[in-house]
């Protein structure tokens, strides 16, 4: 079990450090329905992360023998190579499209609507942001591959992954429920910093994770 936890740690960390989901949560915490929307978003986020790993496990279980027969490699190795190359490409794109000095940061259109979400929309948005995400999707697939041979310990490893990967969402939510409006000023400052530095953070994460995956696939 310790080996599997060590394998998923980099990916859990990468998901936890995603700037935009944290920025979305902060916008909800600054809205009129802060408490109920933040809880709904957090629940949707955790369910989405779990569903993505479960789906990866299911597909890997169905396709492993076929992939071995066609390529001579395990499905885990193929996934590591493909996703590693994808992440390196995404790192290049983030660097290429990074914010230039003096240029205003690109703000996603959905950020303007987040503050007006109903609890139901916040739940669905959390789920979608956890699953249909340029970084979370490959991370969920990779985690599924990493724990596909964990047997009956797989659930425990998945729980560890969910706790670590969602900590930057769950901790601010719990903190706001306890301390309330006193957190609004630091949360506003944090949101602005995350939006301004999103491209740089994502470039570093994509680059490091891409190298890790390819190195693991080839046994370096």
pLDDT tens digit sequence for 125-134: 999 999 988 8
Q: pLDDT-based confidence at 70, cuts 50/70/90? A: low
Q: What is the pTM of this model?
A: 0.86
pLDDT for the residue 104:
65
Whether the per-residue pLDDT at 75 is higher than 70: the answer is: yes
Question: Exposure of 184 by Cβ count < 10 A (0-12 exposed, 13-18 middle, 19+ buried)?
Answer: middle
Long-range contacts of 3-9 (CB under 8 A, 24+ apart): 4/146, 4/147, 4/150, 4/153, 4/154, 4/157, 5/157, 5/160, 7/146, 7/147, 8/143, 8/146, 8/147, 8/157, 8/160, 8/161, 9/164
pLDDT for the residue 72:
60
Q: Strand, coil or helix: what is 32?
A: coil
How far is residue 23's CA from residue 26's CA, in Å, rounded to a whole number? 5
Whether the per-residue pLDDT at 68 is higher than 70: the answer is: no
């Amino acid at each position: 079990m310790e080996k599997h936890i060590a394998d998923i740690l980099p990916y859990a960390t990468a998901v936890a450090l995603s700037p935009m989901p944290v920025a979305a949560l902060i916008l909800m915490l600054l809205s009129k329905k802060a408490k109920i929307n933040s809880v709904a978003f957090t629940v949707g986020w955790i369910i989405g992360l779990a569903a993505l790993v479960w789906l990866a496990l299911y597909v890997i279980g169905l396709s492993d023998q076929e992939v071995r027969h066609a390529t001579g490699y395990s499905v885990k190795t193929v996934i590591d190579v493909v996703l590693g190359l994808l992440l390196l490409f995404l790192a290049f794109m983030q660097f290429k499209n990074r914010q230039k000095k003096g240029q205003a940061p690109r703000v996603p259109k959905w950020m303007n609507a987040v503050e007006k979400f109903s609890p139901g929309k916040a739940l669905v948005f959390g789920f979608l942001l956890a699953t249909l995400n340029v970084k979370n999707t490959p991370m969920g697939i990779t985690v599924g591959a990493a724990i596909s041979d964990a047997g009956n310990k797989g659930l425990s490893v998945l729980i560890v992954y969910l706790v670590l990967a969602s900590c930057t969402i769950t901790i601010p939510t719990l903190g706001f429920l306890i301390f309330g409006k006193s957190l609004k000023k630091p949360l506003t400052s944090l949101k602005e910093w995350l939006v301004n530095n999103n491209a740089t953070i994502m470039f570093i994460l994509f680059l490091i994770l891409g190298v890790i995956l390819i190195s693991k696939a080839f046994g370096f």
